Chains A and B, each alone.
Chain A
């Protein structure tokens, strides 16, 4: 089986090299083809490892005796490589068509070549079996994705987003670096440690360093701020891979750390759970008020990261409190949701990318009426919407259901403190799910339905077949993954966790057919297409439609303590008594809490500190001579003292 992984590694590398070396139009198509082939091998390999459940090494080498590079597979890796395979298959189909319509010439080959290498670096992170190789490939992944974010470097916004991303991802790497050094001090090697006791303070320190590194990369609140800037700034196939796969890679690292490296403590579970709740609720709230279609999807990725963290936290708490079966349910739920989130977020980003590419805008308020113009893309986005809103029998429902069940399952037998924790989590989690549904009603309704709001939206045309086939693969995977979820879990050795969604799907189809037949038989079959009823006044125009801010206004009002909306009103009058109104301005500004209260003060502090330090290093030779003089005098005094 390991040969399949090696073959796919070779294919991925080839797909990257071809467009970089041969700068021809066909090279991009060839690259997509090779990438697709490689991902088929990867899917086959991961499927076999998943079913067989074997652990094996794929590739082992050493830089020097101290730094081993080991690649290997086991079930946990195979779950995520399966997701990687699916996403690369979709990206292989989608990317050539997308690049065809993007402007710029040289950079298209660069993007088309870097995407396979980006996928390859993530594959290596997943396959790593030593902490050293994990760190090396993690950094490679960060650097390649930084260049991909920087693709449209002409825009100042993109440059800013990319620099922000680079800074945050470097902090993440530093944290992981510290964690890995602490681990190697404990165990004395760079191999994966196994089951370290969490009571040792050095172990706990290494865990928190690693967790912080992973949290920054996965967009956990309050380290999330780079994500909604960087993910939308990248070209859409790259955003799909970053949101679908890179977040999942970070979560894979968390799964690996917490299941293999340590024996987790109950306090760790509580901390992860707290971060999870915070992330889920803030993620969805910010997603709700976002007007940028891709930004909305990026925020919703943060929300899903939170849901997965909740699952992991519940797993730790219940596992230690002595409910192994329900704890497993939470763990499987978190894992399943990580995979299904990767699939449907890839789908949503790709279809949203098609819409943004063909309309030339990402602002929801400038879109509208796209479904009539892009019916296939609209249908695929609709499937993604159903998945992310956790509608049965799609795959988004399965993971959330398992986490819900595990939250409720052990409620009556837990200690009082944990009962309270579980109930709080449950209520926040339910609120998150409900708000997600609202958020995607907004995303779908305002983008795809009703009338186009601008000329740009009116001139939108359907994209090419490849750009539909890519997301269609993911849509198929979401549907199959949901409908056959209980069978899949049964094959993998976890039967009976779920109700059989295949039956539910079958019943839905049957009763849908029954309803249709009943209406067809008894009701009138005449249909007519006419203009929308206009009350006899005037034909409805797009000015009468709901806007994004109008749609979310009630939610902004209810949660005004979170959003802190500031209303501003300026009026100018013609006369001194303020009777005749001349002109005015009104605005609503939502506070960017984390940016204004956390990031900017931290940045300001660092700047201040740096300017103080830089006072010592001002480049004048006289001053350096003074330093040398002081140092010599100090040395003489010290040496004299000790003698």
Chain B
């Protein structure tokens, strides 16, 4: 197995991860323009993410391990799915 496809896979995943907040903001921007507003700054998605990351995590006292692992698991699954498309 050569390493090139693996490298492409890694690059692909990183690119997807880096670019997706930008797309979210872009959609908001377009929506706002259509409605005649000016809309958020194009980098607002990244700023939001940075701010949210600084907040503490609150779990409900009824919650189980499912709600703790689900965010990690869903992101990991998406990354593997993206990887599989390349390999």
Q: Which of B56, B72, B84 contacts A504 (CB 8 A)?
A: B84
Q: Is the CB of A508 within 8 A of B77?
A: yes
Instruction: Tell me whether A558 is interfacial, beta carbon within 8 Å.
Output: no
Report the contact-size class of chain B (Cβ under 8 Å from the partner). 20 to 34
Query: Closest 10 A-B residue pairs measured CB to CB?
Result: A526-B56, A512-B76, A523-B53, A532-B60, A511-B79, A371-B64, A511-B76, A527-B57, A515-B75, A507-B80
Q: A451-B62, A530-B59 are in contact. List 19 more A-B contacts (CB 8 A).
A: A371-B65, A371-B66, A375-B64, A379-B65, A382-B66, A448-B64, A449-B66, A450-B62, A504-B80, A507-B83, A508-B77, A512-B72, A512-B73, A512-B76, A514-B79, A527-B57, A528-B58, A530-B58, A532-B61
Determine if A522 is an interface residue (Cβ-Cβ < 8 Å): yes
User: Bound complex: CA of A290 vs CA of B83, how far in Å?
Assistant: 39
Instruction: Answer whether residue A603 sits at the interface, using C-beta atoms and an 8 A cutoff.
Output: no
Distance between Cα atoms of A519 and B54 in the complex (Å): 11
Q: Is B55 an interface position by the 8 A CB rule? A: yes
By beta carbon, the residue of chain B nearest A371 is B64
Once the chains bind, are A372 and B62 in contact (CB under 8 Å)?
yes
Are B59 and A528 closer than 8 Å at their CB atoms?
yes
Q: Smallest CB-CB separation from B57: which chain A residue? A: A527
User: Which one, A379, A504, A524, A531, contacts B60 given CB within 8 A?
Assistant: A531
A515 close to B76 (CB less than 8 A): yes
Chain A nearest CB: distance from B84 CB in Å? 7
A contact residues around B53 at 8 Å (CB): 519, 522-524
CB–CB B64/A372 < 8 A:
yes
Determine the distance from Cα of A508 to Cα of B58 in the docked complex, in whole angstroms: 26
- A621 sits at the interface (CB 8 A): no
Q: How large is the interface on A (under 10, 10 to 19, 20 to 34, 35 or more residues)?
A: 20 to 34
Which A residues, 498 to 540, have Cβ-Cβ distances below 8 Å to chain B? 504, 507-508, 511-512, 514-516, 519, 522-524, 526-532
Q: Using a CB–CB distance below 8 Å, which chain B residues touch chain A?
A: 13, 53-62, 64-66, 72-73, 75-77, 79-80, 83-84
Chain A nearest CB: distance from B33 CB in Å?
A: 32
Cβ of B54: which chain A residues have Cβ within 8 Å of it? 523-524
Residue ranges of A at the interface with B (Cβ–Cβ < 8 Å): 369, 371-372, 375, 378-379, 382, 448-451, 504, 507-508, 511-512, 514-516, 519, 522-524, 526-532
The chain A residue with its CB closest to the CB of B60 is: A532
A449 CB contacts on chain B under 8 angstroms: 64, 66
> Which residue of A has the minimal Cβ distance to B55?
A524
Q: Which of B55, B59, B72, B83 makes the CB contact (< 8 A) with A519? A: B72
Q: How far is A418 from B59 in the complex, measured between Cα atoms in Å?
A: 53
Question: Which has the most chain A C-beta neighbours within 10 Å: B59, B60, B62, B75?
Answer: B62
Contact A515 B59 (CB under 8 A): no
Q: List 6 A-B contacts (CB under 8 A).
A: A371-B66, A378-B64, A511-B79, A512-B76, A515-B76, A524-B56
Q: What is the CB-to-nearest-CB distance from A503 to chain B, in angstroms, rounded to a whole number?
A: 8
B45 to chain A, nearest CB (A): 15
A-chain residues with CB within 8 Å of residue B62 when the two chains form the complex: 369, 372, 450-451, 532
Bound together, the chains give a CA A504 to CA B81 distance in angstroms of 9
A530 touches B64 (CB 8 A): no
Q: Given that A371-B66, A519-B72 are known contacts, is A511 also in contact with B59, CB under 8 Å in the complex?
A: no
Give the Cβ gap from B61 to chain A, nearest Cβ, in Å: 5
Residues in A neighbouring B80, C-beta threshold 8 A: 504, 507-508, 511
- CB neighbours (8 Å) of A511 from chain B are 13, 75-76, 79-80, 83
- What's the Cα separation between A516 and B64 when bound, in Å? 18
Contacts of A530 in B (CB 8 A): 58-61
Determine which residue in B59, B72, B75, B80 has the highest number of CB atoms from chain A within 10 A of its CB, and name it. Answer: B80
